[in-house]
């Protein structure tokens, strides 16, 4: 019999165990997330089998845990004689997906895990950085990771007592880290450690003087790295490599144009929602770093590419993000992920271009370099890139060699 959604619904209606009252709504949620018919049918089959197993063992819904999934998977099982693939290879993953659904809807107990004492402090620090400081998700993730390493280094799994920390403890942690990582990475560790200590001082758990005990990292360089800009011809090749006859091609072309024409960060592309597009005024509302928002003009080719994607490539979904995943569950890309960077990397492979840098930020650098070459000032470039500090934009001054020649001092004894 050909798999169908009706067949999956009929299958779960036959269930009579502890999961049966919620299986129809679960299957409906899979349909809304646009899983394929075969995938829905398979998930329904495994779900009904799990429900029957729970019923035989008189396990109630409130008692359900991950341990029951492992026990279910280890049961005696006789595969069909015509089954050539590894039997039940996706069974655990699909039952765990059901369990996540039940927990999200508070139908069973949340996952129980032995959380070390450090986790509570790091979670509070995470919320402080996100909600009070408004830092970018990637920055918060880096700071929290460094803070957790610091706490585990000193306290392990014991109770965390920040009040007993001293300058010697902080310096010993940095010294232990230094031999194993590059100076640039160590600087990031130092930044995260300082941020955490400032937070601890804000909470009154340590003295603010401990923040100044964090040592600085010396990493001199006679040749500071230049911005990593993609070549304009390569950028055009990537945009033209998108197949406009497919939804993926329409989406990727719109994203690449946003990167190339407006210099958006990958996270700013991911967070765009449908309400951010003002078609009448031709503007886009950009959600930048630190919670900053600004309006940017939408070039004609960018608007046409987004409109083509929305009309012919974007799948129907209640999710309001402009750009959606192409595989189920159909929803916006995860904020903080490198989904846009992956799109750029795939475009480079598709166009047959081998560049030293694969991420999306190279388009942002290319826009700044192009503006500089056409006579734009450093403040104008900073406004376009939405830099809060002129220092962030000043790196592009090193590219304008012709302008820098005018600042060169003649060598003594030579004619200028």
**Catalytic: which of 141, 187, 198, 289?**
289
Q: Would you state the torsion angle of the CA atoms of residues 122, 128, 129, 131, taken in this order, to the nearest 10 degrees?
A: 140
**Catalytic: which of 154, 364, 365, 386?**
364
Respond yes or no: is residue 289 known to be catalytic. yes
Respond yes or no: is residue 361 known to be catalytic. yes
Return the half-sphere exposure (C-beta side, CA atoms, 13 A cut-off) of residue 380. 11
CA angle (403 as vertex; 398, 405 as ends), nearest 5:
90
Other residues' Cβ atoms within 10 Å of the Cβ of residue 302: 21
pLDDT at 172 > cutoff 80: yes
Tell me, yes or no, if the pTM score tops 0.75.
Answer: no
**Catalytic: which of 253, 361, 365, 386?**
361
How far is CA 112 from each of CA 51, 64, 115, 231, 260, rounded to the nearest angstrom?
A: 21, 11, 9, 51, 46
**pLDDT of the residue at 408:** 55
Q: Which two tokens stand for residue 124?
A: 């509070």
Other residues' Cβ atoms within 10 Å of the Cβ of residue 321: 19
Whether 253 contacts 242, CB under 8 Å: yes
Q: How confident is residue 126, by pLDDT bands cut at 50, 70 and 90?
A: very high
Respond yes or no: is residue 387 known to be catalytic. yes
Whether 300 contacts 284, CB under 8 Å: no
Q: What is the per-residue burial (b if ≥16 Cβ within 10 Å, else e) of 110-145?
A: eeeeeebebeebbeebbebbbeeeebbbbbbebbbe
Respond yes or no: is residue 35 known to be catalytic. no
**pLDDT of the residue at 377:** 84
**Catalytic: which of 22, 148, 194, 265?**
265
**pLDDT of the residue at 74:** 84
Whether 321 contacts 339, CB under 8 Å: no
**pLDDT of the residue at 1:** 46
Q: Would you state the torsion angle of the CA atoms of residues 360, 364, 366, 369, taken in this order, to the nearest 10 degrees?
A: -160
Q: Which two tokens stand for residue 33?
A: 């997330």
Of the ranges 12-26, 76-90, 369-383, which is most confident? 12-26
Closest CA to 68 of 77, 55, 80: 55
CA angle (378 as vertex; 380, 219 as ends), nearest 5:
135
- Give CA–CA dist 207/230, Å, rounded: 47
Q: Which two tokens stand for residue 301?
A: 């080719």
Of 250 and 393, the one with more pLDDT: 250
> pLDDT (tens digit, 9 = 90+) per residue, 396-412?
766 655 555 554 556 66
Across-strand partners of 283? 278, 297
How far is CA 213 from each of CA 96, 207, 414, rounded to the nearest angstrom?
A: 46, 11, 49
> pLDDT (tens digit, 9 = 90+) per residue, 301-338?
999 999 999 999 999 889 999 999 998 889 999 877 78
Respond yes or no: is residue 335 known to be catalytic. no
Respond yes or no: is residue 77 known to be catalytic. no
Q: Which domains does the chain have, with CATH numbers?
A: 5-104 (no CATH), 117-213 (1.10.150.130), 232-401 (1.10.443.10)
> pLDDT (tens digit, 9 = 90+) per residue, 46-92?
999 999 999 999 999 888 888 898 888 888 766 555 444 555 667 88
């Amino acid at each position: 019999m050909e798999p169908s959604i009706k067949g999956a619904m009929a299958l779960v209606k036959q269930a009579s165990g502890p999961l049966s009252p919620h299986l129809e709504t679960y299957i409906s949620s899979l349909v809304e997330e646009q899983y394929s018919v075969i995938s829905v049918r398979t998930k329904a089959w495994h779900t009904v089998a799990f429900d029957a197993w729970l019923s035989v063992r008189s396990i109630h819904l409130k008692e359900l845990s991950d341990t029951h999934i492992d026990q279910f998977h280890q049961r005696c099982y006789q595969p069909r004689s015509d089954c050539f693939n590894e039997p039940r290879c996706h069974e655990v993953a699909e039952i765990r997906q059901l369990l996540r659904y039940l927990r999200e809807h508070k139908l069973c107990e949340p996952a129980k895990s032995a959380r070390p004492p450090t986790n509570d402090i790091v979670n509070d620090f995470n919320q402080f950085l996100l909600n009070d400081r408004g830092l970018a998700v990637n920055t918060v993730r880096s700071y929290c990771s460094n803070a957790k390493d610091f706490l585990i280094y000193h306290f392990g799994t014991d109770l965390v007592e920040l009040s007993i920390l001293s300058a010697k403890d902080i310096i010993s942690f940095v010294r232990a880290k230094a031999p194993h990582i590059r100076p640039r990475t160590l600087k990031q560790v130092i930044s995260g450690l300082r941020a955490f200590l400032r937070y601890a001082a804000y909470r009154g758990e340590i003295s603010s003087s401990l923040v100044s005990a964090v040592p600085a990292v010396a990493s001199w360089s006679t040749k500071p790295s230049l911005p990593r800009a993609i070549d304009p011809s390569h950028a055009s090749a990537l945009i033209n490599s998108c197949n406009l006859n497919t939804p993926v091609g329409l989406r990727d072309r719109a994203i690449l144009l946003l990167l190339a024409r407006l210099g958006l960060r990958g996270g700013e592309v991911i967070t765009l929602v449908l309400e951010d597009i003002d078609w009448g005024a031709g503007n886009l509302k950009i959600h930048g770093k630190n919670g900053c928002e600004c309006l940017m003009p939408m070039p004609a080719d960018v608007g046409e590419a987004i409109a083509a994607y929305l009309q012919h490539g974007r799948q129907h979904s209640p999710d309001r993000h402009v750009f959606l995943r192409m595989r189920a569950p159909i929803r916006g890309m995860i904020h903080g992920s490198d989904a846009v960077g992956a799109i750029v990397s795939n475009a480079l492979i598709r166009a047959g271009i081998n560049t030293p840098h694969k991420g999306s930020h190279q388009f942002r650098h290319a826009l700044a370099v192009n503006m500089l070459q056409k006579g734009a000032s450093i403040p104008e470039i900073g406004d376009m890139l939405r830099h809060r500090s002129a220092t962030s934009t000043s790196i592009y001054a090193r590219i304008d060699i012709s302008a820098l020649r005018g600042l060169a001092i003649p060598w003594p004894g030579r004619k200028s």
